[in-house]
Structure 1
Amino acid sequence: MKVMASTSMPPATVEALLDLLEGSGGGVQVLDPPDHVRAAWRRILHVLRSDGHIPDGWHLVQRGRNSGDLVLQLRPGEHPSKRYQPAAANTKVTVAEDLVKAHPAVHQLRNQPQRLPASDLNRSRALLLLQTIADKITAGGHTVQCGSQTTLLVVAAELSSIGIRVWEETGKRWALRLTLAVDGPGKQSTTWNDYATQPLEDQLAEILATIREGIRSEEAHRQAAKQAEQKRKELARDRQITEHRAEFLRDQVERWVLAQDIRDHCSQLVDAGMNLGASWLRWANKYADSIDPLSDPPGTPADPQPEVQAVRNAPTPVSNVESPGYTEVRPWHPNRRWYHR
């Protein structure tokens, strides 16, 4: 590699530059050139690349385009950056010259010429374009139907549909230009027009890509709506179960507190002078045992049915206890009033 001073200007011609690179073993290094020298090298390199002067089977590597040392190398083979570029695909969609085995929707339109462009040429073109669209879309597993009014074809989506319109128009710079519009989903609309160098047939790949993107957008929207609905149902179900268990838990606590209060009250009655074997005390203690959840600790309650909200069950006393009442003479107590007799 030949090392050159920072003030070294590039050769005046591309041929001289190639001779310089070849004579220096394929490489040249200019030591940190000033801006005007670097710009001069960029200009000659631009001519070298843009006019196709790089020999076949070689590529040019440049470093230091804007700062630092300027290094140029002519190397054999393909440029490394091209290894990562995908091969160009032929995206042009072929449109049949004749309408053979027409799709049912297109066949229906063929029998409704008043909905199609008026000129014979554009009417035929419109049918062939619509047939190609119908074939490509149905091949992807989607449904195509005949539309109504100005919408000629309808691509059925899950939540809405995509409409396709075709018409001809005349302007100051064209006559009977064919126009195609894809409507939806939603209110969006994309339009393509005939051009002198690019008729609608040459834009069909882009048209199909737009339709497929609309289908994917609808499917994504449907999936998102489905997931949101499922999430809503799960949250509602969790709330229902939580409310049901909370009611069950509150009922347990209330029963436990009431049982404790009844037992405390019975103890106070005994302290006040009531006979420990009194039937009222026996019934009260038995009732406390019947409602106390600690007497037979329950497990987690069964979840309610999804359609049925949890309903709180009131405490149910045992059926074989004595009826509450005062069946024997109570001992005198200073807090007793005349209406207790």
Structure 2
Amino acid sequence: MSRTKLNERQLDVLRRICHGQTPITSDDSGLATTIYALRNRGLVTTTRADGRWSAAPTEAGRQHLAHTDATTAPRPSAPSTASEAAELITRLQQASGTLHIANPTPDERAHWRRVLHAVRADHLVPDGHHLQHTGRDKGDLIITLRPGPPPGRSTPPSETVPVPDDLPPETLHPAAAAAHIPACPDCQPRARRILHALCHRAEAKNYIVGNPEASSAASLVITIGDSSFPLSFHEGSYEVPDPSGAKYAWQRVTARTTRPSHELELSLEHTYAHRGRRSHWGDRQRWRLEDKLPALFREIAHRAYTDYERQQALQRKEEETRQRWLTAMQQARTAFLEDHRLKALHAQVQAWQEATAIRAYCDALEGHHVTPDAAEATTAWITWARAYADRIDPIPQNPG
């Protein structure tokens, strides 16, 4: 068993693996380097399932941790850590279950981690509760005592797409039977059985399956909502010498020919909307194409959801643009109406002022002494002027 001294971080991770309530998995990507270092020393093991690994202690790891804790137990801080562990639970219960430590120093954080480890190791957490904390490495440290069992890590359910080992041609799904599959005759039955399984699983998920257009090289099209995903089959090949090109038995064979490898591969159509995403699944030394069909469905579902979110965002953007246009049009109508009213008001005020001035002028003209020779002409002029004032005066017309 390795007795090489571990650093504080490695000891902390080993304690979490041995005594922690929450398992350490590949979701904790920041701990991967430490996990690999512990695994290289034989202190932990990692098991892989559904593309994810989880860490578990070995017997050597448990003995190493016990030996380390035993050799460090006489430290003066150990009794205080044990007493602080019990005090922490009391403080949490008195503070409605939450303790907030503002931006502690690295040494204080390490001390609190030891206290939290002591709480769990000594089983001080009250029944029916669990501890959670945030700010392990930076920021404020918040420790919470919550009712209920500790939350487990959400792991995607293990999904399988069963492919029958044998299937009569007449029972094939119509889309699988009509599919164009560029593969050798020996691989055709297997490829159609895979397509048959894909069709039935897709329809069980309420997806739509069908064959592509004649001009397409795809074998099958799966449609989810407004998104369609063409699937294409490929068969690998390898080169071998071609003796048919040699005319004489002693002649060196230089020609080569290709032969099918009987290794099938399914691929999603490459699009720039999903660049960087995985798009090929096939036979390998460690697995067969059938084993990767669930991953293919997960990728299709991811792409469909991404397309839906992108379409929703585009619709929201278009609606925002439309609303901005409607608002601008309403503002333009309001401004146009305001301008029209101002012009009308100015014209009415000007006409009223002119009519008022004309009447005042007529009153002054009537009061002026006019000679008998000019009386008739003056009276006619005043009559016309007053009639003109009445015509241009907006007030009798009840303007709006």
- TM-score interval (norm. to shorter): 0.5 to 0.7
Aligned partner of 2:101 in structure 1 is: none
Counterparts of 1:89 and 1:220, CA distance in 2: 24
- The structure-2 alpha-carbon separation of the partners of 1:44 and 1:253, relative to structure 1 and needing over 3 Å to count, comes to closer
**Counterpart residue number, 1:147:** 212
Q: Residue 197 of structure 1 aligns to a residue in which SS?
A: coil
User: Aligned residue for 1:108?
Assistant: 178
Report the Cα offset of residue 130 of structure 1.
1.7
2:190 alignment partner, one of 125, 130, 137? 125
Judged with a 3 Å threshold, the aligned counterparts in structure 2 of structure 1 residues 43 and 268 are, in CA distance, closer, same or farther, namely closer
Greater fraction of residues in helix: 2
Distance 2:337 2:261 in 1: 80
> Structure 2: which 5+ runs fail to align?
5-36, 46-56, 73-105, 124-130, 133-149, 241-259, 364-381
Shift of 1:184: 4.6
Identify if the C-alpha distance between structure 1 residues 43 and 190 changes in structure 2 by more than 3 Å, giving closer, same or farther: closer
What's the offset of the Cα at 1:165? 0.2
Counterparts of 2:68 and 2:340, CA distance in 1: 82
Letter in 2 for 1:152: S
Measured in 1, the distance between the counterparts of 2:309 and 2:39 equals 52
- Worse-matched range after superposition: 208-217 or 86-95: 86-95
Q: Which of these residues, 234, 241, 249, is aligned with residue 167 of structure 1? A: 234
Contact 1:163/1:183 (CA < 8 Å) preserved in 2?
A: yes
CA distance in structure 1 between the aligned counterparts of 2:66 and 2:189, rounded to whole angstroms = 51
Tell me the equivalent position of 1:334. none
CA RMSD in angstroms, aligned pairs only: 4.4
Q: After TM superposition, give the deviation of residue 185 of structure 1 in Å.
A: 4.9
Per the TM alignment, residue 267 of structure 1 is displaced from its structure 2 partner at its CA by: 2.3
Q: Give TM-score scaled by structure 2 length.
A: 0.50
- 2-side partners of 1:117 and 1:235: how far apart? 55
**Partner Cα distance (1:166, 1:282) in 2:** 92
Q: Take 2:224 and 2:159, find their aligned partners in 1: how far apart are those partners?
A: 25
| Residue of structure 2 equivalent to 1:95 | 163
| One-letter code aligned to 2:164 | A
Distance in 1 between residues matched to 2:397 and 2:184, nearest whole Å:
90
Q: How do 1:1-341 and structure 2 match up within 5 A?
A: 46-50=41-45, 52-53=58-59, 84-86=152-154, 89-99=157-167, 101-109=171-179, 115-120=181-186, 122-148=187-213, 149-156=216-223, 161-171=228-238, 175-186=261-272, 188=275, 190-273=279-362, 275=382, 278-285=386-393, 287=394, 290=397, 292-293=399-400
Q: Secondary structure at the match of 1:156?
A: strand
CA 1:88–1:104: 2 relative to 1, 3 Å: closer
Count, aligned residues: 246
* TM-score normalized by the length of structure 1: 0.58
The aligned amino acid for 2:199 is: A
Report % sequence identity: 13
Cα 1:83/1:225, change in 2 over 3 Å = closer
Deviation at 1:157, TM superposition (A): 5.1
